[in-house]
Structure formats: structure tokens, C-alpha cells
Structure 1
Amino acid sequence: MNITAQRLRQLAWLACALPAVYLTQQALTLSLGANPVEKLEHETGSWALLLLLCCLAVTPLRQLTGWNTLAPLRRTFGLFAFAYACVHVLVYAVLDRSLLWSELLLDLTKRPYVMLGAAAFLALAVLAATSPKVMVKKLGASAWKRLHTLVYAAGVLAVAHFAWLKWDKNLLDRPAMYGAVLALLLAWRLWFVYRSSSGRS
């Protein structure tokens, strides 16, 4: 690729930040519609999931094209996915549930889609906490790589969270689309690992 890795990261940061800027502008101008809290919840959650899928797509795209300058974007997309997930959780806990711990605990124990979302968020938190390069040295490269395969579990949990949320409303088009993309990325990962292990043997 002619574009430098630094310029590519800058463009990725800009693209990832634009939805947050837009949502902030919409909130400040009271343009989020009749239910602004629900709008913020859905939009931040959707962007978290979309960026998580972008994170998972970086490695297959790099392997297919040979564009190694794409590699740093995996971390960029992953951290932005976690950032949007943090806002998603804060909107839900603070604005939707008013930090009423009894309601939060009730949701966490009685609503399956909340359980799935909490598990996905916990996985993303672990990945974000161990994303700095210094953690590679502390954990060891091999252990760090094994830990970061958790990103696939986070993807499955996030898609399941979204699908379960939409199930009662019979609005499964977008969850199905995200699920199909995730399934394709997981299939590529499994095939690539199998091909690599077969080549070594």
C-alpha cells in the first residue's frame, strides 16, 4: 500500500470518532428523538459491535492482501469498540436505570440479553486492559496471543446479546447480518489455523 501506517491509523481514528461526535451533537441539540436514552443505548451498542467486527476483519484482510500496514488497526478498532461499549453501559446504568443497583442486579439475573451483554463487556475489558505492548512482555507473547483469542468469544456474545434484544420485536435483520459476518470471520480463522498447522506438519 502507498499509504503509510501512521496515516492509516489517523484515518481510522477519525472514522471511529465521527459517530461519537455526531451523537454528541445530536444530544446537545436535543435531536435524538422521542426517546433519547434508548437512542443513545442502541447507537453506542451498535457502533461497539460494528467496530468489534472491524477489529476481527483486520487479520483476514491482511492475510488476503498482504498489506501488513493494516495490522495496527486491529488494536485501534478494538479499543474504540471498548470505548463505545463503555458509553453503552454507562447510558444503560446511569440514564436508563438511574444507578439503582436493585434494578441493575435484577436485570443481570433475570434478563438473558443483559447477561450476554455483561459477559461481552467483561471480555472486552480484559482485552483492553492487556492491549498495551508492555502487557505482551509481562504475559509472554504466547500467553498474550492465547488470551486475545477471547476477542472471538466477545464477538459471539455481543451478537447474541443484540439478537436476543431484538428477538421479541422480531427485528432480526441486522443481528442476522452481523451474525453472518461473524460466522464468516470465524470460519476464516479456523481454516487459516488448520492450513497453518497442516503446513507445519
Structure 2
Amino acid sequence: MNQLLRALPGWSVWLLGLMPLAWLVWLVFFGGLGVDPVKEIEHRLGKIGLWFLVGGLAISPLRRLGVNALRHRRAIGLLAFLYVALHFLAWLILDMGMLWGQAGRDLLRRPYLFLGILGLALMLPLALTSNDASIRRLGRAWRRLHWLTYPAVLLGVAHYLWQMRIVSTEGWLWLAAVLGLILLRFRPR
């Protein structure tokens, strides 16, 4: 497994990571999104973002089990940011039509949106500093900054759970996975 991960070129992670977006674009153009395509676009982008957030969290615990995907963590994190940002933009542009008053009323009516926006705001500095120049410039502070990953993921899961009227089994599994991965990350070696 490690040999396969080491041999996997960085561009292939990006290619694989962009496939769900390509599929979503395909569905948009060929009418595969059902009766409420805007809602479907929003939900799919958010769910894919959550997949990548959890995938990024899984890299350190998997390393303890002998599976080393550390080389691809940056790509996975940036893909997570991409999908979460697109999720937000789908809400702002497609759903709210860039009508700021309507967006403000929607925020007040659905407070879980604040959690998602705060999670995205925490991810922004992570995405902006996920490059070699920032790592060199920030030194040890870069690692401390990237601890924002944990509250960002927790906010994303809370946003996902709160938007459900009744939390499904899938929702509880997402929460259990995230809490489990965070606990594994902080467990002594």
C-alpha cells in the first residue's frame, strides 16, 4: 500500500479529487440533479468537501498504522477547501442570487449557516499558506496555524448535522468519524 501511495504522482491526486466536480458539472448539463438542482449542487459540494476534510484528518492516524499518505495531505486539504468554497459560492450565487439582504435573512433564519461560514473562514488561511514559500516564511508558526484544521472540520460537521431536521445515522457516523480521528491524532504514540 505504501509503495502504491509513494508511486502515486501528485497530479493524479488532483485528477482523482476533481472527478466528483466533473461528474457534478456533467449532471448539471444533462439534467441529472432532480427537481431542485440548486439545492442538489449545494448539498453535493458540501458533502464532497466533508469527504476531503475527513480524508485529510485520516492521514496522520493511518500513518501510525503503516499507511503513509503524508505526501498527498496538502492536495487533499486544498481539494477540501475548493469544495467547501464552491459549496459556499453555490449558496451565495445560485441560491441567494448575490442578494445580500436575502442572504442576511437566510443567515438569521438558518443559524447553522454561520457555522459553515466560520469553518470556511478558518480554512482560508490554511489554503493560502499551503505552499512551500509560506512554510519557509512562517517556520514553526506554520504548524500552529494549521491546527485550525481541527475546529474547521468540527464546525463543518456541526453545520452538516444542524441543517438536518432529524439527524440521520449517516450524520452520526460523520460525527463519530471526525471525533474518532481527532482523538486518534492526539492519542500518545
CA RMSD of superposed structures (Å)? 1.6
**Equivalent residue, structure 2, for 1:25:** 26
Is 1:184 aligned to 2:171, yes or no?
no
Q: Deviations over 1:33-74 (max 9, x none)?
A: 100000000000000011000001011111220x44x11221
Contact 1:48 1:80 in 2 (8 A): yes
Structure 2: distance between partners of 1:91 and 1:109? 18
Q: How does 1:65-144 map to 2 (within 5 A)?
A: 65=66, 67-68=67-68, 70-140=69-139, 142-144=140-142
Mark the runs of 5 or more structure 2 residues left unpaired by the alignment: none
Structure 2: distance between partners of 1:4 and 1:153? 28
TM-aligned CA deviation for residue 4 of structure 1: 5.9
Q: Deviations over 1:145-201 (max 9, x none)?
A: 1110110111100000000001x2x14222211100001111111213xx4xxxxxx
TM-aligned CA deviation for residue 107 of structure 1: 2.9
- Which residue type is aligned with residue 14 of structure 1? L
Q: 3-state DSSP class of the match of 2:8?
A: helix
Q: How does 1:27-42 map to 2 (within 5 A)?
A: 27-42=28-43
**Equivalent residue, structure 2, for 1:172:** 168
TM-aligned CA deviation for residue 122 of structure 1: 0.6
Contact 1:79 1:128 in 2 (8 A): yes
**Selected match of 2:161 from 139, 160, 163:** 163
Mark the runs of 5 or more structure 1 residues left unpaired by the alignment: 196-201
**Equivalent residue, structure 1, for 2:45:** 44
Is 1:62 aligned to 2:58, yes or no?
no
Contact 1:59 1:74 in 2 (8 A): no
Worse-superposed segment, 39-48 or 6-15: 6-15
TM-score by structure 1 length? 0.88
TM-score by structure 2 length? 0.93
Structure 1: distance between partners of 2:161 and 2:99? 26
After TM superposition, the runs of 4+ consecutive aligned structure 1 residues lying more than 4 A away are none
